Amino acid sequence: MTLFERLAEALHADRPVALVTRIDGPQAGAKLLVFDDDVYGDLGTPLLNVAAAGEARALLAVGETATRTFGEDGEPVGVEVRLFIAAYAPKPVMYVFGAIDFSRAMARIGKYLGYHVTVVDARPVFATKQRIPDADEVVVAWPDEFLEKAPVDARTALIVLTHDVKFDIPLLRVALRTEAGYIGAMGSRRTHANRIEELRAAGVADADLARISAPIGLDIGARTPEETAISIAAEIIALREQRRGGRLSEGTFPVHNARTPALP
Partner 1 sequence: MIDVLDTIERWRGEGQRVAVATVVGVENSAPRDPGAVLAVSERGAVAGSVSGGCVESAVYEEAQDAIATGRPRLVSYGISDADAISVGLTCGGTIHVFVERLDW
Q: How far apart are the first and last CA of the chain?
A: 34
**Is 96 exposed, middle or buried, given 0-12, 13-18 or 19+ CB atoms closer than 10 A?**
buried
263 touches partner 1 by CB under 8 A: yes
Interface residue with partner 1, options 71, 73, 88, 222 (CB under 8 A)? 88
Strands 157-160 and 182-185: parallel
245 touches partner 1 by CB under 8 A: no
12 touches partner 1 by CB under 8 A: yes
CA neighbours within 13 Å on the CB side: how many for 116? 13
260 touches partner 1 by CB under 8 A: yes
Question: Is 32 strand, coil or helix?
Answer: strand
69 touches partner 1 by CB under 8 A: no
1 touches partner 1 by CB under 8 A: no
Question: Cα 193 from chain centroid?
Answer: 28
The nearest distance, CB 165 to partner 1, in angstroms, is: 41
Describe the crossing of helices 101-112 and 225-240 by its angle, rounded to 10 degrees. Answer: 50
8 touches partner 1 by CB under 8 A: yes
Residue nearer to partner 1 on the CB measure, 40 or 126: 40
Interface residue with partner 1, options 124, 151, 203, 254 (CB under 8 A)? 254
Quote the CA–CA distance of 103 and 122 in Å, as a whole number: 14
What contacts 48, CB < 8 A, 6 or more positions away? 70, 71, 72, 73, 74, 81
The nearest distance, CB 66 to partner 1, in angstroms, is: 7
Quote the CA–CA distance of 195 and 239 in Å, as a whole number: 22
> Closest Cα partner for 185 from 142, 227, 128, 232?
232
2 touches partner 1 by CB under 8 A: yes
Quote the CA–CA distance of 196 and 158 in Å, as a whole number: 17
10 touches partner 1 by CB under 8 A: no
112 touches partner 1 by CB under 8 A: no
Interface residue with partner 1, options 7, 158, 172, 186 (CB under 8 A)? 7
Residue nearer to partner 1 on the CB measure, 41 or 215: 41
Binders of partner 1: how many residues, by CB under 8 A?
29
The interface region with partner 1, picked from 65-73, 124-132, 163-171, 192-200 by CB under 8 A, is 65-73
Residues in the site for partner 1, rule: CB under 8 A?
A: 2-4, 7-8, 11-12, 19, 21, 23-24, 28-29, 31, 41, 65-67, 84, 86, 88, 254-256, 258-260, 262-263
